[in-house]
Amino acid sequence: MPNPYYAGPVTDHFDGERFFVPGTASDKSRADLLRWRREGGRAVWPRQAPSPFQDLPPVRSDGMRVTLIGHASFLIQLAGINILVDPVWSDRAGPLGLLGLRRVNHPGVVFADLRPIDVVLVTHKHYDHLDMATLRRVWRGHRPRFVTRLGNDTIIRRAARIAEITALDWGQSVDIGPGIVAHLQPCRHWSARGLRDRRMALWGAFVITSLAGTIYHVGDTGFGDGEHFADIAVRFGPTDLAILPIGAYEPRWFMQAQHMDPDEAVQGFALCQPRNAVGHHCRTFQFNNE
């Protein structure tokens, strides 16, 4: 199957058809999937677990203000601009908003209470990170710029046909506001929206630098040898905030290559040396056993 999202030169993490993490194999077989389902061990979640907290963000912030919307969605207000990361306001994480897992926790900001959104960052194309219904709502109401990775722009274009969409590779950077730069960094994950497009669009993390501070945001990643965390400290120094995923990690034999458990998240925190950290990817959609 030709890649429907991206056509570009072969690199050390793109073979001409699919992206990959050098030196690792994250794909699981159908037999692995059946084994996971057969072994059971899935925790019982409530149908609803609403948070008592709701935020009403200010219009702007000259400093750094970060609000967890839910799962992997954040509102970052930084040095005068408003940034949404992986926004999902839909009730389900799946195709057409009709399939997939239903959320048990309401968004921490009512959509109507969003302040003007300048930039949307999308880490990868899994449905719990790239939600077409939400992107359409954000585009219609705010007309933001979109920044993502190679191949994901093709999907986002369906939701925001005339938007400015920047799609970059690992190691590339782009200005997203006065003195504010988004740096696209590697991580250990994969991507798919169907049965035949596995790893055909790139995934990754963001480092956002500004005079108001530096944020390291990881949408999804396995820990691996921790090298990608240590590299952040070397390249950018101690960041002010690391936003790290802790969820969808059980059973470990099945999930370790692409998701961190709490112990690995603490190790990643120690390696990238942030002053503060926020965990995410939990308590909204139950993708795995924990």
Amino acid at 138: V
Domain borders along the chain are 60-280
* Tens-level pLDDT at each residue, the chain (290 residues): 799 999 999 999 999 999 999 988 768 888 988 898 888 888 999 899 888 889 999 999 999 999 999 999 999 999 999 999 999 999 999 887 777 889 999 999 999 999 999 999 999 999 999 999 999 999 999 999 999 999 999 999 999 999 999 999 999 999 999 999 999 999 999 999 998 999 999 999 999 999 999 999 999 999 999 999 999 999 999 999 999 999 999 999 999 999 999 999 999 999 999 999 999 998 999 988 99
Q: For the whole model, what pTM was predicted?
A: 0.96
Buried-exposed string 269-284: b where 16+ CB fall within 10 A, e elsewhere = bebbbbeebebbbbbb
Q: What DSSP letter does each residue of 51-98 carry, written as one string?
A: -S------S--SSEEEEEEETTEEEEEETTEEEEES---SSEESGGGT
Give the span between the Cα atoms of 227 and 249, in whole angstroms. Answer: 19
| CATH architecture for segment(s) 60-280 | 4-Layer Sandwich (3.60)
